[in-house]
Amino acid sequence: MVRELRPGVWLLELGLFPPLASNAYLVDERAVGSDGDALTLVDTGLWWNRPTIGDELDAVGYGPTDLDRVLLTHYDLDHVGGLNRLVPAFDGPVSVGRDDLDLLAGRAEPALLHHKGLFHRASRRLFPLPELTLEPLDDGDTVGGFTAYHTPGHNPGHVVYHHADASAAFLGDLVWAGDDGGLTTPFWGDSYDMDELRTSIGALADRIPAFDVAAMGHGDPLLTGGSDALRALAEQV
């Protein structure tokens, strides 16, 4: 189901139920009052979803050919798998955190005895990404109106994207929606290093500009007070 969170920012709900359900987000910079005019997709869900990423884009009135870029918060199959459903119609650039791109490309070898490291060694062979232009991002890099914040812990190259004109932060799996209407940390078994993740939450809360929409990868996004909720979680962890 598609929901417009604010003018120019849509939630694309992919998958029927957790843990297969995940969120993608569409940002039309022309509609958020930005100087840019790009149509950006943040994350893509799994390679198979009901509804599909194509169905969700169609519900907003767009198709893969309309996309100017894709931003990935991190390399996990429930965030990158849908790229295979966008090609060949989409052939634009895909941005991903440098450390996750190194992991994906085989330039970094996660520990064999680490639960997620072993999974990534297997998944990058079994489910390769399509042939697209993959662009590495470092902390502080900008892509259009988006600023990338390196937030390791869940993944080595996890990235949060902040868009000032949209007053939104696309948080990936740095945080999940909490039962109390706020934010919480992800399940430890789905992360590389929970201590590093908690440190990233605190560091991000200290340096990211204020934002309303907290757009996380799992659960209902917060439409107001997003940065306040992030700071509240940082104080807890």
Going residue by residue through the chain, which has 237 residues, state the pLDDT in tens, using 9 for 90 and above: 899 999 999 999 998 766 678 999 999 999 998 888 899 999 999 988 888 899 999 999 999 999 999 999 999 999 999 999 999 999 999 999 999 999 999 899 888 888 899 989 999 999 999 999 999 999 999 999 999 999 999 999 999 999 999 999 999 999 999 888 899 999 888 899 999 999 999 999 999 999 999 999 999 999 999 999 999 999 999
Residue 187 CA, distance from chain mean position: 17
Q: What are the sequence ranges of the domains in the chain?
A: 2-236
Give, in order, the Cα–Cα distances in Å from 179 to each of 17, 108, 171, 184, 220.
16, 36, 17, 8, 10
Distance CA 36, CA 102 (A): 29
Pairing of β 39-42 and β 93-97: unpaired
Q: Which residues, other chains included, contact 122 with Cβ-Cβ below 8 Å and sequence gap of 6+?
A: none
| H helices, E strands: number in the chain | 7, 14
State which CATH number among 3.60.15.10, 1.20.1050.10, 3.30.43.10, 3.40.50.1240 fits the domain covering 2-236. Answer: 3.60.15.10
Could you give the strand order of the β-sheet that contains 146-150, starting from the edge strand earlier in sequence?
Answer: 142-143, 146-150, 159-163, 168-172, 213-216
* CB 212 within 8 Å of CB 168: yes
Residue 206 per-residue DSSP state: H
